Amino acid sequence: MALTPPENRLWWKEPLAKMEITWISIAFVWGLFMFAVMIYWHINGEQNLSNEAYRVNPETYGEKVEAEAAKYTVREEGDTGIPVVHPPAGSDVYMLARLWEWWPILELEKGQTYRLHLSSMDWQHGFSLQPTNINIQVHPNYEMVLTLKPTETGDFGIVCNEFCGVGHHTMLGKMIVVDKK
């Protein structure tokens, strides 16, 4: 029994049954395979997260985002006062997270590749692009840069999916993807 000492005191010398060897081998090889798939995807897959990140002071980052927004603001979103920023296709684009908003609204062009910079001004936030369902953690003091290529047009929500205090559920941003001009 599993509740009593093994009857055979030399239990480690017992041979394995064929069924056991077969299953252990299958499970082991499957593990190696799954490990290899992650590496394969880095070589041939299109969805890999960037390793590019920099230490940044939140104030410095905030100033940079504001400067970029000032350069490329094309309009305000309805009567919300939030600027809609349309940076040049293929350029570096900036967004910040703070209690409780994603700022500004980015307008990107379909099929273009952008370098998206993300950082937080205060606590941790979760960048969750919906309904595409791309989810990235945003930390203060870290500026993450990822290369992103929108493949569909429309309005996308940016939900905050890292709990950030009592206003967390009001933290909703937007990204707009339009056809090439």
Partner 1 sequence: MASNEQYRICPETGLKVFFTTEKLIKINAVVAVVFLAIGGLFGLLVALTRWPAVHILPPDLFYLALTAHGADVLVFWIIFFEIAILYFASSVLLNCRLAAPRWAWLAFVLMIVGALMANVAVLQGESSVMFTSYVPMKAAPHFYLGLILFAVGALIAVFVFFGTLVIAKQEKTYEGSVPLVTFGAIVAAIIAVYTIASGAIILVPTLLWSLGYIANIDSVTYKLVWWGFGHSSQQINVAAHVSIWYAIAALTVGAKPLSEKVSRGAFLLYILFLQLASAHHLLVEPGISSEWKVFNTSYALYLAVLGSMIHGMSVPGAIEAAQRRRGFTQGMFGWLRKAPWGNPAFSGMALSVVMFGFIGGISGVVLGTEQINLIMHNTLYVPGHFHATVVTGTTLAFMAVSYLVVPLIFQKEIMFPKLAQWQPYLFGIGALGISLFMMGAGTLGVSRRHWDMTFADATLSFDHPPAAFLMMGLNGIFAILATIGGIAFIVVIVGSVFFGKHRDEAACKANPVVYQGGGEAVASYGNEHELKLPGTVALVSVFFLAFVLYYFVNWKYLAEVWPLS
Question: Looking only at residues 63 through 122 of this chain, which bind partner 1 when binding is defined by CB under 8 A?
Answer: 77, 80, 82, 101, 105, 113, 118, 122
For residue 165 the two structure tokens come to 């205090």
- The residue assigned the tokens 């809609």 is 84
CA distance 62 to 140: 11
Q: Exposed/middle/buried for 174, CB within 10 Å: 0-12, 13-18, 19+?
A: middle
Q: What pairs with residue 18 in β-bridges?
A: none
> What are the structure tokens assigned to 14, written together?
């017992």
Min dist CB 2 to partner 1, Å, is: 4
Q: Is position 178 an interface residue for partner 1 (rule: CB under 8 A)? A: no
Nearest distance, CB of residue 14 and partner 1, angstroms: 5
**Contacting partner 1 (CB under 8 A), which of 51, 59, 180, 181?**
51
Give the count of residues interacting with partner 1 (CB under 8 A).
91
Residue 168 lies near partner 1 (rule: CB under 8 A): yes
Q: What is the CA radius of gyration of the chain?
A: 24
List 84, 106, 171, 176, residue binding partner 1 (CB under 8 A): 171
Interaction between residue 169 and partner 1 (CB under 8 A): yes
User: How many whole angstroms separate alpha carbon 25 and alpha carbon 35?
Assistant: 15
Q: Could you say whether residue 135 binds partner 1 (CB under 8 A)? A: yes
The pair of three-digit structure tokens given for residue 88, joined into one six-digit string: 């040049």
Q: Please list every residue from 15 through 44 that binds partner 1, using CB under 8 A.
A: 15-20, 23-24, 26-28, 30-32, 34-35, 37-39, 41-42
Determine the interface stretch with partner 1 among 66-74, 90-98, 142-150 (rule: CB under 8 A). Answer: 142-150
Question: 3-class SS at 111?
Answer: coil
The answer to whether the beta carbons of residues 122 and 99 sit under 8 Å apart is: yes
**CB nearer partner 1, residue 89 or residue 159:** 159
Task: Report the residue from 66, 73, 112, 148 that binds partner 1 according to the rule CB under 8 A.
Answer: 148
CA angle in degrees (0–180, nearest 5) for 45-176-139 = 65
Least distance from partner 1 to the Cβ atom of residue 60, Å: 16
